[in-house]
Amino acid sequence: MTTTNESLDLCSVKTFAELSGVTVEEVINWVDSQTIPSMKLADFRMVNLARLRADLEKGKTVFKAGDYAYV
Contact 8, 44 (CB under 8 A): no
Residue 1 corresponds to which amino acid?
A: M
The tens digit of pLDDT for each residue in 7-45 reads: 469 999 999 999 999 999 999 999 999 999 999 989 999
How does residue 2 score in pLDDT terms, banded at 50, 70 and 90? very low
Give the residue from 70, 69, 36 showing the smallest Cα distance to 53: 36
The tens digit of pLDDT for each residue in 37-63 reads: 999 989 999 999 999 999 999 999 999
The pTM for the full model equals 0.83
